[in-house]
């Protein structure tokens, strides 16, 4: 899958020079911008791990707004700032996110609703055929500091792709969900991602790919999509094999074997802690006899994350608030660094007999993670799984007393099942956990 950088997924401090284009464009484009500006809105979100923003536009005067799904994915709160300065809470009416590996199909859209009437609009109407080299405009709110006024960038259609529009018009963080206009002012797409050398080329979703979603959202009884299908998500969002629905609650049973031949059983209980417009949060409790692990996981179209972890009800990760377990898309060789701080939650167990060396109360962890493979066949007691992904994480631990230890954890994930095997190496010790069975609770 092409390496996409979605500019609305995070908010970065980016300033855009020369945001006013009136002095550099033909008069008809000045009129297009002036007519469209009142309908373009700033979309601000709060989510686990921070805040972000994107753009959108009003397509119905009663407050229906179209934006990208990835702008609001994972949101716990959404607000929209109108061109007149009013800031209103917004709710998600519907969303649809469908991508394939080569982007011959791209749908990344969400419909929001604010409680207002008589709003200015950019109507959704059939656009004329798009030609390569024709002028286009991208409207939106790039950057973190430049959100007080809508910005405009101008470019051409660099290529007409099967699933998307390629353009050299500048698209930066915050532009996502903003309208792409042709020279007559018609909406032809949504600014969606950046691709290519030095992130120089922008990508836009064809507006016709969101037309049915936008039309149905206006009807209170209309059909709702609320689907997300992004390559790689199937490895981290388990599904019940009988009904193919995402599992809100299940238990995994493990067989754990130590390097000295000892073997014992383990149970992992997983419960959904909420669904956030396609993103999901899970609460997982694993009993390996020792250690006991309680973790809070989060999955969205960007990756699989550990939000918090407690080990043996004693050690707690104090920072950062989100650790990456996997990054999407799943490409062999992709890697990322790890830096963590851990502390003991309770100091009661630090009491020592006279003369004994005090136990460590904190530790620092640095490391590196790599996607080793994306197409392995793995046999475990639960069965044989194909198309498995293997990820290796290497950690170096240093306690506040200078003790050092190296750990390597290799994990295999299977489609729609999630984790099926883990090999953990601590110095000379090796523990292998293999999936025995899954209880898909109903």
pLDDT 10s digits, 376-388: 999 999 999 999 9
> Smallest Cα–Cα separation from 139: which of 167, 113, 176?
176
- pLDDT of the residue at 50: 80
List 53, 69, 108, 182, catalytic entry: 108
Residue 23 has pLDDT above 50, yes or no: no
Q: Which residue has the higher pLDDT, 18 or 437?
A: 437
Instruction: Mark whether 68 and 118 lie in a shared domain.
Output: yes
CATH code, domain carrying 286 = 2.40.360
Q: Of 201, 229, 257, which one is at a domain's C-terminal end?
A: 229
Enumerate residues 6+ apart whose C-beta is below 8 A from 153.
16, 21, 137, 138, 169, 170, 171
Which band of pLDDT confidence, cut at 50, 70 and 90, is reported for residue 247?
confident
What's the average model confidence in pLDDT over 269-273?
88
Specify if 15 maps to a domain. Answer: no
Instruction: Mark whether 196 and 318 lie in a shared domain.
Output: no
Residue 291 has pLDDT above 80, yes or no: no
Instruction: Mark whether 282 and 377 lie in a shared domain.
Output: yes
- pLDDT of the residue at 105: 87
Average pLDDT in the chain: 87
Instruction: Mark whether 52 and 199 lie in a shared domain.
Output: yes
Which band of pLDDT confidence, cut at 50, 70 and 90, is reported for residue 256?
very high
Instruction: Mark whether 53 and 199 lie in a shared domain.
Output: yes
**Known catalytic membership, residue 247:** no
Q: Number of folded domains in the chain?
A: 2
Q: How many CA atoms lie within 13 A of 427 on its CB side?
A: 4
The proportion of the chain whose per-residue pLDDT surpasses 90, expressed as a percent, equals 62
List 70, 151, 158, 301, catalytic entry: 70
Instruction: Mark whether 281 and 219 lie in a shared domain.
Output: no
Instruction: Mark whether 246 and 264 lie in a shared domain.
Output: yes
The boundaries of the domain holding residue 409 are: 233-346+358-440
| Cα dist from 268 to 253, 273, 388, 392, 408, whole Å | 6, 15, 20, 21, 21
- Look at residue 21 and give its three-state secondary structure: coil
| Cα dist from 110 to 72, 177, 217, 322, 387, whole Å | 8, 9, 10, 26, 31
Kindly report which listed range (123-127, 156-160, 303-307, 394-398) carries the lowest average pLDDT score: 123-127
> Smallest Cα–Cα separation from 279: which of 101, 69, 111?
69
Q: Which residue has the higher pLDDT, 87 or 51?
A: 87
**Known catalytic membership, residue 108:** yes
Specify if 215 maps to a domain. Answer: yes
List 55, 151, 158, 176, catalytic entry: 176
- pLDDT of the residue at 142: 87
Specify if 14 maps to a domain. Answer: no
Specify if 284 maps to a domain. Answer: yes
What's the average model confidence in pLDDT over 400-409?
93
Instruction: Mark whether 155 and 184 lie in a shared domain.
Output: yes
Instruction: Mark whether 250 and 148 lie in a shared domain.
Output: no
The proportion of the chain whose per-residue pLDDT surpasses 70, expressed as a percent, equals 87
Specify if 173 maps to a domain. Answer: yes
Instruction: Mark whether 107 and 120 lie in a shared domain.
Output: yes
Tell how many helices (H) and how many strands (E) occur in the chain.
3, 27
What's the average model confidence in pLDDT over 16-42?
74
Instruction: Mark whether 241 and 292 lie in a shared domain.
Output: yes
Residue 234 has pLDDT above 70, yes or no: yes
- pLDDT of the residue at 240: 78
pLDDT 10s digits, 76-121: 999 999 999 999 999 999 999 999 888 888 999 999 999 999 999 9
CATH code, domain carrying 216 = 2.40.10.120
- pLDDT of the residue at 22: 39
- pLDDT of the residue at 433: 94
**Known catalytic membership, residue 55:** no
Q: Which residue has the higher pLDDT, 365 or 359?
A: 365
């Amino acid at each position: 899958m092409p390496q996409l950088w979605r500019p609305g997924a995070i908010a970065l401090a980016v300033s855009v020079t020369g945001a006013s284009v009136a002095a550099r464009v033909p008069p008809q484009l000045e009129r297009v911008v002036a007519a469209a500006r009142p309908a373009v809105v700033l979309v601000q979100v709060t989510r686990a791990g921070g805040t972000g923003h994107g753009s959108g536009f009003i397509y119905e005067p009663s407050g229906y707004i179209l934006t990208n799904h990835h702008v609001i994915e994972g949101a716990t709160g959404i607000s929209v700032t109108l061109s007149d300065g009013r800031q209103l809470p917004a709710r998600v009416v519907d969303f649809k996110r469908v991508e394939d590996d080569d982007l011959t199909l791209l749908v990344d859209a969400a419909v929001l609703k604010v409680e207002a009437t008589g709003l200015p609009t950019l109507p959704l109407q059939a656009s004329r055929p798009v030609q390569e080299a024709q002028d286009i405009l991208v409207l939106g709110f790039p950057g973190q500091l430049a959100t007080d006024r809508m910005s405009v960038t101008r470019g051409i259609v660099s290529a007409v792709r099967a699933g998307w529009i390629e353009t050299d018009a500048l698209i930066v963080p915050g532009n996502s969900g903003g309208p792409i206009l042709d020279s007559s002012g018609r909406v032809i797409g949504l600014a969606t991602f950046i691709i290519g050398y030095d992130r120089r080329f922008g990508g836009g979703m064809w507006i016709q790919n969101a037309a049915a979603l936008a039309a149905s959202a206006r009807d209170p009884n209309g059909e709702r999509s609320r689907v997300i299908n992004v390559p790689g998500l199937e490895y981290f969002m388990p599904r019940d094999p009988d009904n193919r629905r995402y599992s809100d609650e299940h238990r995994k049973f493990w067989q754990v074997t130590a390097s000295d031949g000892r073997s014992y059983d383990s149970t992992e209980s997983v419960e959904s802690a909420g669904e956030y417009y396609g993103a999901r949060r899970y609460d997982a409790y694993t009993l390996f006899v020792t250690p006991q692990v309680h973790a809070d996981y989060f999955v969205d179209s960007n990756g699989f994350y550990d939000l918090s972890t407690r080990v043996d009800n004693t050690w707690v990760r104090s920072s950062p608030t989100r650790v990456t377990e996997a990054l999407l898309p799943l490409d062999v060789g992709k890697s990322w660094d790890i830096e963590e701080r851990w502390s003991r939650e309770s100091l009661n167990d630090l009491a020592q007999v006279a003369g004994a060396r005090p136990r460590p109360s904190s530790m620092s962890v640095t490391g590196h993670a790599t996607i080793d493979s994306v197409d392995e066949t793995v046999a475990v007691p639960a069965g044989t799984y194909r198309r498995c992904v293997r990820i290796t994480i290497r950690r170096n631990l240093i306690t506040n007393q200078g003790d050092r230890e190296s750990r390597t954890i290799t994990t295999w994930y299977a489609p729609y099942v999630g984790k099926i095997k883990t090999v953990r190496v601590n110095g000379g010790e090796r523990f292998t956990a293999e999936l025995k069975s899954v209880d898909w609770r109903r």
